[in-house]
Structure 1
Amino acid sequence: MKKDIHPNVNDTLIRCNCGYEATLLTTKGKELSVEICSNCHPFYTGKQRFVDTAGRIDRFRKKYGNLADAKK
């Protein structure tokens, strides 16, 4: 194997906004923050929850809300 071409692998503490913490081996650094993890993601939990931090759903409904009525 060639020398000095492989990235450094660190033990990284990953923190989610829901409070979950895990330690994994990554090349990203010592600490990493994520918004959604497997403990709070609707696909894994089975609970429907809209994660809309920037108002994207409201903007979409405002822009295209009348479009569904127009096609009928």
Structure 2
Amino acid sequence: MKQGIHPEYRQVVFQDTSTGFKFMAGSTMNSAETITMDDGNEYPLVRLEISSDSHPFYTGREKFTQADGAVDRFNKKYGFK
């Protein structure tokens, strides 16, 4: 294996910008921002627009569209019977 071609793997804090939820995971992502966690160590901070804390699939706030109604509207609009 070649030396010096692999990115640095370290602990990074990810923060959901919509809920403020934070979690730490190993990553190779870079960030100019840092955050000090409860353990007193400083970690790179990567901001996310959506995470498991705010995604509708994980929170149970998923919206389902009525497929039958959409099909009926399409058929009515374009004259299909």
Q: Same fold (TM over 0.5)?
A: yes
Deviations along 1:24-66, one digit per CA (max 9) or x if unpaired, are 11111221000111011101111137xxxxxxxxxxxxxxxxx
Per the normalisation by structure 2, the TM-score is 0.57
Per the normalisation by structure 1, the TM-score is 0.63
Which residue is 2:21 aligned to? 20
Which residue is 1:35 aligned to? 49
Greater CA radius of gyration, 1 or 2?
A: 2
Runs ≥4 in structure 1, deviation > 2 angstroms? 67-70
Kindly indicate whether structure 1 or structure 2 has the higher relative contact order, using CA contacts under 8 Å at least 6 residues apart.
2
Aligned-residue CA RMSD in angstroms?
A: 2.0
Find the aligned partners of 2:78 and 2:53 in 1 and give their Cα distance: 39
Length, aligned pairs only: 55
Give the structure with the higher percent strand.
2
